[in-house]
Amino acid sequence: MTSNSHGESLGGSLSRAKKPDGSERLSELRRVWHDYGLSIVLVVLFLFAMAGQTLTGWHVYNAEQRDHGERDISLTRYLATGHFGEATFENWESEFLQMAFYVILTVFLYQRGSSESKRPDVVELVDLDPRLSPNTDEAPWPVRRGGVVLKLYEHSLSLAFATLFVVSFTLHAVTGLRDYNEELIAHTEPAVTLAGYMSSARFWFESFQNWQSEFLALVAMVVLSIFLRQRGSPESKPVDAPTWDTGS
């Protein structure tokens, strides 16, 4: 009896010991979702849209191939075409340009009443010199390091977006040239150089048609947030905030 009792007690303890592990994993997943849900959903939406663009672009490209008496190509080969690259990087370029300008312009310029603007004539927390921070011990490493590292770090967001824009712009030019020359060759016309393509109306039309839409979206966000609200969103002022109150 005693032996069985100890065995049951031990077995019950082991059984109970396993349950917290499963619940802890579930709790951890919930915590990850709670803390990082926004970026998770945005990444999933990006991958869904990227897959949609890739598949539909592949079908469009093959339809054009057939129109010119050429054979269809595989999805893998399509990913290396100028058609895919130009369509992808042309859009990335405009997005990163938008964000670079937005980050930089909001440092110096204001829009009274907008949740997307700092308050005019008010020194905000983001304006304070990190070198004078009373929380240096808890600050990121570049703040504690100081010097050139800190100088770069305090402008790192705009520098990152600017760099991503330059990379995307370059890839747009390179892959767009490949796509353009494929079209020229298909029409028995001579290919052009990178300089020739980048000085063409076509290249800048591809860029400007996306740039204008990104700046329009920014204008809409800045102006509409003066008058309209979205309860619960950090991109909106509180629902009961006066119209011409600036910031959130």
pLDDT tens-place string over residues 106-131:
999 999 999 999 999 899 989 999 99
For residues 92 and 168, the answer to whether their CB atoms sit within 8 Å is: yes
Q: What is the mean pLDDT of residues 159-164?
A: 98
Higher pLDDT, 26 or 31: 31
Domain borders along the chain are: 1-74, 81-248
Q: Is 118 exposed, middle or buried (0-12, 13-18, 19+ CB in 10 A)?
A: buried
DSSP-derived secondary structure for 97-110: HHHHHHHHHHHH--
Higher pLDDT, 6 or 224: 224
| Helix 156-186 vs helix 201-227: crossing angle, to nearest 10 | 140
DSSP-derived secondary structure for 74-85: -HHHHTTSHHHH
**Position 36 confidence tier, pLDDT thresholds 50, 70, 90:** very high
pLDDT of residue 4: 53
For residues 78 and 57, the answer to whether their CB atoms sit within 8 Å is: yes
pLDDT of residue 103: 97
Which are the contacts of 205, defined by CB distance < 8 A and separation ≥ 6? none
Cα–Cα distance for residue pair 248/235, rounded to 1 Å: 8
User: pLDDT per residue over 9-29, tens digit each?
Assistant: 545 554 455 555 778 888 889
pLDDT of residue 3: 47
For residues 142 and 153, the answer to whether their CB atoms sit within 8 Å is: yes
**Position 31 confidence tier, pLDDT thresholds 50, 70, 90:** very high
**Position 188 confidence tier, pLDDT thresholds 50, 70, 90:** confident
For the record, the structure tokens of 127 come out as 């304006």
CA atoms within 13 A on the CB side of 27: 6
User: pLDDT per residue over 228-238, tens digit each?
Assistant: 999 999 999 99
* DSSP summary character for residue 71: P
Give me the numbers of helices (H) and strands (E) for the chain, helices first please.
Answer: 8, 0
Which are the contacts of 168, defined by CB distance < 8 A and separation ≥ 6? 89, 92, 93, 96
Q: What is the mean pLDDT of residues 202-207?
A: 96
Ranges 88-102, 175-189, 204-218: which has the least confidence: 175-189
Mean pLDDT of the chain: 91
**Position 175 confidence tier, pLDDT thresholds 50, 70, 90:** very high
Please work out, in degrees rounded to the nearest 5, the angle formed at the alpha carbon of residue 180 by the alpha carbons of 71 and 173.
Answer: 125
